[in-house]
Structure formats: structure tokens, C-alpha cells
Amino acid sequence: MSDAAAGGRLDPAAAGTLDAAAVEPLLRGRFGRPYLWRETCTSTQLLLDGSLPEGAVAVTEEQTAGRGRLGRVWEAPPGRAILCSIVLRPPAGRRTPQISIAAGVAVARALEAAAPALAPRIKWPNDVLLDGRKVCGILAEARDGVVVLGIGLNVNQEAGDFPPTPHYPPTSLRLATGREQARAPLLAELLWQLEATYDAWCAGGLAALHDELAQRDFLAGRAVLVDGAAATALGIAASGALAVEVAGVRRLVESGEVSVAPVV
């Protein structure tokens, strides 16, 4: 454990850069090729377009205008997170919103590979949580004939690095494990797991991942608010919608804001 991990402020360079020299030798599949790295950019989502092959990835150390779902801002100090976007070309007939859920499974697997004692959970539709705190956000955007999938994973942030948020309180892999993490092998593992979950989804839809989703589903069985209305979450359906029960009636939520109801 480094001095920074033992209690001092973390040196952003301590966990290594994510440039091509650090990451490309660790890649095991087709995802991450070609590999585009920028020290800083507005958003990795804007570095990729439909001219690139499936699996092309853009990575940065710092985003100046990172975006999340529903127009929210995604912020991370330089050199402490994994901020990347991947070009995907899903087969006709597959529902694009499901990609975020399949990617959540990949993120959860990569986190467990880094720290097996963790129990990552997927919060519908596009977040990954550790102990009820948000460690990762996912954004899938369809444009130029492709889907650009953005992933923001908190790796080495400390508690004071996070801005105030009215939504799920944030955390990082470092806070969850108590130690500094090397980002390059974690990114390589994430791309490997994403390739596996994406290929399974392409072949069989979310049904191919549904058993694992059910085990990782954070909202299932919880009292929730769906756009402010009280409900009970039943779980992520095979369609990718969230099944809820409202006043004894089952319904499927395709989109909207879902949060855990406060305890009163």
C-alpha cells in the first residue's frame, strides 16, 4: 500500500495513466481496438462517430463537460476515474436501452475481479452501486448508425472529491476497498467483460443475462418512487423495463426517474 493509500492525499499519477502504452498490452479481445486516448476532452462521447469499427474506444483522464442520464453532469478529478466510450453496432431488432443494463453486468464483473469481496448491484436503468452508493454511471446514445456507450467508473476518488448530489450518494472502488487501485488493468478487464456481456446480449437479448441480473438487481423488492409515485419494484424484466407494482397492479416502467422511497 502506498503512502497515499495509507491516508495521505492520493497522487493522481500513482495509479498510472490510461494511455495506449499502458492499456493496449493488457487487452484480451476485440474491444479497445482502435484505442483513442486524450489527456483531457469535453466528453469521450464526442470523440467517437459512425466511421469507426465496433469496439473502438475513447478514453480520457479528465472530462470538462461529462454527461450523465437526464442531462446530469458527470464530474471526476483528473486521473482518478475510468472515463471511456465504446462504439457498438448492435444487430437489427435489439432494443438500444438494454445495452446500458448489459453493460452494468460487465461493470459489476470487473469490480468483482478487482476485489472479490465486493457485491456490486445494478440499479435500473444505468447505474452500478456498492453498498447502496453509486460507483458507476452508464450512458448509451444512438447516433450516426451506431450506439456510443459511455461509462464513468469511480476508481480512486476520496470522499472529499465528490460534489454534493441530491441523488444516490457516490462512492469509489478505493473507498469501498480501502486501497488505491491500478486503473489500466481494471479498464482492460472492463472491456473484456463488456465484450462478453455484449456478445451474449446480441445473441440472446437480456434473457441471456437475466439470471445474473436478478441476482444483482438493487431495486427488486424495495419500496420506490416512480416519477414521484409510490410503488414496489419487482425487478428488471426481460424486455429491459422495470416491473413495479402500483396499488396492487403490475406495470412496466420503460423510462423515467426511479428512486428508493425514503423511510418514514
| pTM of the predicted model as reported, rounded to 2 decimal places | 0.90
Q: In the predicted model, what is the mean pLDDT of residues 1-27?
A: 64
> At residue 223, does pLDDT exceed 90?
yes
Task: Indicate the Cα dihedral angle 14, 19, 25, 31, nearest 10°.
Answer: 120
Q: Where are the alpha helices (DSSP H) in the chain?
A: 20-23, 98-114, 173-177, 183-204, 210-216
Q: In the predicted model, what is the mean pLDDT of residues 181-194?
A: 97
> At residue 262, does pLDDT exceed 80?
no
Give residue 247's pLDDT: 87
**DSSP 3-state assignment of 139?**
strand
What values do phi and psi take at 36, rounded to 5?
Answer: -110, 120
Q: In the predicted model, what is the mean pLDDT of residues 174-187?
A: 96
> At residue 103, does pLDDT exceed 90?
yes
| Confidence band, pLDDT 50/70/90 cuts, at residue 158 | very high
What CATH homologous superfamily does 20-215 map to?
Bira Bifunctional Protein; Domain 2 (3.30.930.10)
**DSSP 3-state assignment of 200?**
helix
Non-local (6+) Cβ contacts of 150 within 8 A are 43, 44, 45, 67, 84, 85, 138, 139, 140, 141
Give residue 12's pLDDT: 42
Residues of the chain with CATH 3.30.930.10: 20-215
Residues of the chain with CATH 2.30.30: 219-260
| Range scoring the smallest mean pLDDT among 1-10, 86-95, 237-246 | 1-10
Give residue 65's pLDDT: 72
Give residue 13's pLDDT: 44
**One CATH from 1.20.120, 2.70.98, 3.40.50, 2.30.30 for 219-260:** 2.30.30
| Range scoring the smallest mean pLDDT among 30-39, 108-117, 132-141, 252-261 | 252-261
**DSSP 3-state assignment of 58?**
strand
> At residue 43, does pLDDT exceed 60?
yes
> At residue 3, does pLDDT exceed 50?
no
Give residue 66's pLDDT: 55
